[in-house]
Amino acid sequence: MQDTDAIIKNLQEDLKGKRYLLVLDDVWNEDSEKWNDLMSCLLSVKDTQGSNILVTTRSARVASISQTLSRYDLQKLSDDQCWLILKDRAFPNESDPTLNEDEERIGRDIAKKCGGIPLVAKVLGSMMQFKEIDGWRVIQESTIWDLPEEEKRISSVLKLSFDELTSPTLKQCFVYCSMFTKDFEIEKDDLIQLWMAQGLLHPSPNNSDLEMEDVGNQYFNILLENSFFQDVRMDYYYGTIIATCKIHDLVHDLAEDVSKSKTKGSNEIRHVPQNSTIDLQEIPKGIVHKRSLIFDELPNSIGKLKHLRYPVGMGRLKNLRSLSFFIVGKEGGRGIKELGGLKHLKGELSISDLKHVRDGEEAKEAKLAEKTNIRRLELEWSQTKTGQGSSIMTGILTVENAKNLTEWTEEAAKLEIDSMNSGMPIANIISTQLTTLTRLTIKKIRGLVSLPEGMLKNNKNLAYLEIRDCPEFICIAADVYGCCASLESLRIYSCPNLRSLPHGLEHCTFLKELTIAHCESLECIPVTNGLPSLCELYISNCDELSSLPSGLQHCTSLEHLSIYSCRNLEAIPITHGLPSLRN
């Protein structure tokens, strides 16, 4: 929206009669006229009392222009605090490292030179981790401390850390990150794929077992250890695997500066940042020669490409490593057997439209057991003939000569089974052949009556279990909880014939979330002694439920309790307060 008046009108309508908190983070605009316009706009909003605007900035001038009340100046860290950060980074595996007199003296002097800036302390501490005492002295006596301006000293410290990277390819991988906008949340796996696409990663010549993705992971971890990445977010379902990260603004500036120095004098377009909301109507012809094009959003009309298909004969791409989705087709060159020759697939694979697979014999041609680096598998049938899903499921997840999936399951962590007409083969396959699941989703399985005894006995690390849209589902075997001692999240949706959960839920001492929705026949949730780790309990549209679990008052970690549309609920057995309850 480009019309200022229209923006103001929309803002006034959205905020009218509301109490709001507006946070303007990391502001640099020093134009006083624009600030006055913004203030006038917000003052014209007829809001309720108590609305606030919070501005954060590193610019004293911005703070002076925008402040209407006494501002809060965030103080720098003390020398002792910087020293604690340095030690934490220099000795990450030691809570209280023993240092000799020289190490203590030099380290504290470097901490003093950090000037109270935590980023500087983190970067220098990471550099000190891999150096002897002489290396510490080099940092201590560096000429960067002679620079007069603080910003220049910080930039020089970052540049010094960059120069310490021993591999030219690793430096290129870091500089490549300048293509992302500031504060962008970078997907780790996507970043490694982009490095590969740029030709920056190669199999290790010293270790034949290391693939390009493994080298990319090593590079990512080195950059993280050296504080070039921050704000990492872990993948909840894969344990300690990092999902995303960000780059500090000043680190991003360094990547841009180095990138500019590398391309100085070049007439070619290397990077087109998206700095405005103006629609790009036409892409210059020369841009088709670029090695990376990243679009955050595609037009709605993309949905009109109803006949868009993968190219025929995907199976001939023998070295293909990444294939997130495969849609099984009926035509020649698009069948399930195209997956058979793709032995190097890694990461995640979703196979849909399995209704086009004739039988189990044809399904075996996918040869999934040979794809030992797949860690997440999704199977979707949509619609199948009665009984057909059973043989296809068995064919996909078994191999001739009675060979099981031991190799494949070394990395398999997630399995999602969607839209089958028979639930019979699920228990057999999961109980005997899958051993490393951390996440299991079962949905739209007609004929699935129960999760029988022993079904999950070999999946001790299962953390997430979801059962959804299974109309005949009536029970869960009592031993499931004992088998799933590591379960952290249990979700059951739209199972209208489920009458009760089995006793023994207390065995799930790590359970953090329990969600039960649209289970209209559910009569009780047998929890008597409480769940010590439960943080979230969500129950909705359970018409026959008359009472919440009697042990609810013993769930001392419960923070979020939500109950919706349980029309026969008569009792909430809480005789005293829940100490952690917030919502």
Q: Are 477 and 448 in contact (CB under 8 A)?
A: no
Between CA 482 and CA 454 the distance in angstroms is 10
Strands 230-234 and 242-246: antiparallel
How much is the pLDDT for 385? 47
CB neighbour list of residue 329: distance below 8 Å, 6 or more residues apart: 309, 335, 353, 356
Between CA 319 and CA 474 the distance in angstroms is 45
Class of domain 449-583: alpha beta
- Give the containing element (helix H, strand E) for 326: strand 325-327
Between CA 486 and CA 508 the distance in angstroms is 7
How much is the pLDDT for 84? 93
How much is the pLDDT for 426? 60
DSSP 3-state of 467: strand
How much is the pLDDT for 195? 94
Q: Are 532 and 509 in contact (CB under 8 A)?
A: yes
Domain locations in the chain as residue ranges: 4-66, 79-164, 168-260, 317-436, 449-583
The arrangement of secondary structure in 168-260, i.e. its CATH architecture, is Orthogonal Bundle (1.10)
DSSP 3-state of 464: strand
Amino acid at 326: F
Q: Are 523 and 546 in contact (CB under 8 A)?
A: yes
Provide the sign of the torsion angle of the four alpha carbons 94, 96, 101, 107, taken in this order: positive
> What average pLDDT values come out for the chain (583 residues) when binned by 10 residues?
69 80 87 85 74 88 88 90 92 82 92 90 90 90 80 86 90 93 90 91 76 90 91 70 89 89 51 49 58 65 76 86 86 86 85 81 81 76 51 45 33 68 54 70 83 75 89 82 82 92 81 93 85 91 88 85 89 72 83
CB neighbour list of residue 190: distance below 8 Å, 6 or more residues apart: none
CB neighbour list of residue 279: distance below 8 Å, 6 or more residues apart: none
Between CA 505 and CA 525 the distance in angstroms is 9
How much is the pLDDT for 384? 46
